[in-house]
Structure 1
Amino acid sequence: MPKIDPNKPLPHIHSREIVAQSKFFRVERLDLEFSNGATREFERMAGGNRGAVMIVPMLDENTMVLIREYAAGTHSYQLGFPKGLIDPGETAIEAANRELQEEAGFAANELVELHKVSMAPTFFNANMTIVLARDLYPKQLEGDEPEPLEVIHWPLDNADALLAREDFVEARCIAALFLAQKWFKEQ
């Protein structure tokens, strides 16, 4: 096992400044000094620290619920799991149940936090809690999507075919799939 120093000091932030901003994003520049005296200027997306959730909904022990929605970043329709931001005052579990209702038309009686992941932590302060949802029942809440999302049922035991699809490529969805498979193997 490699030795990792848990007490290594974080770099000192000498200054921070917002250098670009849009309706959705803020870019922050940091002037840093590391413990060895090296200095660097980093840019990162300034996060709101609200966090997000991704839900792996299970209709039964082998049937996942996926959604297909427009992805502006790739200008394509992508297949994946329901996901969204945690609203102020919500827990990750509450947000997961709300997003599941808004995007897939189901609520869950059982929600289990599987793992927390981050996306490109060198540049983003964006954390996501992966949640497994079981004992589903139909319940729809109105969401903020511009068009109805397609809801697709997919067998967990056919995950290889899902991974082979050109429209199931988001890294967080792939991680969520593997975490769900691991959870079921350990039960």
Structure 2
Amino acid sequence: MNKSPTILATRDATDSHLRRVEEVDLEFSNGERRTYQRLKSGGHGAVFIVALRDEHTVLLVREYGVGLERYELGVPKGRLDRDETVEQGADRELKEEVGFGARKLTVLGALSLSPSYMTHMAHVVLAEDLYPERLQGDEPEELDVVPWRLDDLHGLIARDDVTEGRSIAALFMAREYLAGRYRPA
């Protein structure tokens, strides 16, 4: 596993794609009016990929999260590029982060981070029938790929380095889909 990077400096970002705020004037059915603020998405959405190595095993990645200043274990993920479908983005990110492509991609649904003040949505994609193929990604270092059994999700969420809620939700969605207990709308 890689050693954590050294933080050289921090400062407020005055112009960032992460900090686009808009005000929304609302009137509720009871006549109450409020002005809310929300963060606007700066991109085209994102994908969270549940990559099945075999029918029992998913491939996770260990990646540095600057927000928590530590390495986190979760599903491969990334932003969609302009004019890229959800499936194309998932396949590209899988090749960049894990070194595999997928012959079968199934969109399981979408997850929000905080619907009270963010417009950003992330699509959950199940990737099956994997084959080796690597694309150059934008990560500053190679990611550790960690196989994990789907029947041990309770053990995964008990770990200190697994806290990204959308990764956890994506894994549970995939497990329930594969067991026939969930079908995408």
Larger strand fraction of residues = 1
Aligned to 2:22: 28
Alignment partner of 2:67 out of 69, 73, 96: 73
Structure 1 residue ranges without an equivalent (≥5): 1-19
SS at match of 1:111: strand
Corresponding residue for 1:11? none
* Residue 124 of structure 1, aligned match among 103, 111, 118: 118
Offset, 1:72 = 1.0
1:21, distance to aligned residue in structure 2 (A): 4.5
2:107 to 92, 110, 113: 113
Query: More deviation in 30-39 or 81-90?
Result: 30-39
Contact 1:52 1:127 in 2 (8 A): yes
| Gapped regions of structure 2 (runs ≥ 5) | 1-13
Decide which structure has the larger Cα Rg and report it.
1
TM-score, normalised via structure 2 length:
0.85
One-letter amino acid of the counterpart of residue 157, structure 1? D
Distance 1:126 1:87 in 2: 14
Name the SS of the counterpart of 2:47 in structure 1: strand
Q: Is the 8 A contact 1:21 1:27 kept in 2?
A: no
Q: What TM-score results when the alignment is normalised by the length of structure 1?
A: 0.84
1:50 is paired with a residue whose SS is coil
SS of 1:158's equivalent in the other structure is helix
Distance 2:156 2:54 in 1: 18
Q: What's the CA shift for 1:33?
A: 3.0
For residue 23 of structure 1, report the CA deviation from its aligned partner. Answer: 4.7
Confirm or deny: 8 A CA contact 2:20 2:42 kept in the other structure: no
Q: Cα RMSD (Å) of the superposition? A: 1.6
Check if 1:186 corresponds to 2:180.
yes
2:177 maps to amino acid: W
Percent identity of paired positions between Structure 1 and Structure 2:
47
